[in-house]
Amino acid sequence: MDTCTCALELLGMLVFIGAWLCALATTILPQWLTMSTTLLAMESYELGLWETCVVQDIGGMECRAYDSLLGLSSDLKLARVLMCTSLAVGILGILVAIPGLHLVHSCKEHGSKRIKKTLIIIGGVLGMISGVLCLIPVSYMAHLAVIQFHDDNIPDVVPRWEFGDALFCGWAAGFLNIGAGLLMVTSCLCSQVEPQPVLQRRYQVMSRDVNLKKCSEYV
């Protein structure tokens, strides 16, 4: 068992699980966009995928879920679909990669190592896909906030949406998913070339010499 390969696989799996939890927190948190007004300095507003919240400086917080799915903007609908798809692909990648770990013992049959490598590679690819799916809605919502913030047609006194904590959590989840997938794929590439044991190489050389001697005797 290659120690380097096992370490890369284990590190990739731990990062993968942590990234999936970050993506889950990003999907649930209402702090995708925040807005504070000068007229009501004691209150600020938060926009999420599932609800909007009003936060008061004294510590109170009141949230209200969206009444209708059809009444949502296309941006929120797209963000919901992509984040839920990212979570589904991520958990599928984790479930596929776990049986392929070298630390998970299985029956030693012919081709079991190849099957394990295939499962790890599939899990790593799914992790990278999950990361990309998570980065798309987070970056798109941030892009919309930047465009609105620098829109000259909107008066300066009108409040604007700014980045919330969920966006930063989503960026972390996306890049961690991609990093975890790269670690898992790299672990398989590192374990493809397996050096033969010294005794086995000596045995092959000795058997080759014996065969050459026998051939020369027959000649």
The pTM for the full model equals 0.78
- Residue 84 pLDDT level (bands cut at 50, 70, 90): very high
Reported as a single tens digit per residue, the pLDDT across 193-206 is: 444 444 444 445 45
pLDDT greater than 60 at residue 185: yes
Residue 20, Cβ density class (10 Å: 0-12 exposed, 13-18 middle, ≥19 buried): buried
Q: Give me the CATH topology for the region 3-218.
A: Butyryl-CoA Dehydrogenase, subunit A; domain 3 (1.20.140)
Give yes or no for a contact between 55 and 46, defined as CB atoms under 8 angstroms apart.
yes
DSSP 35: E
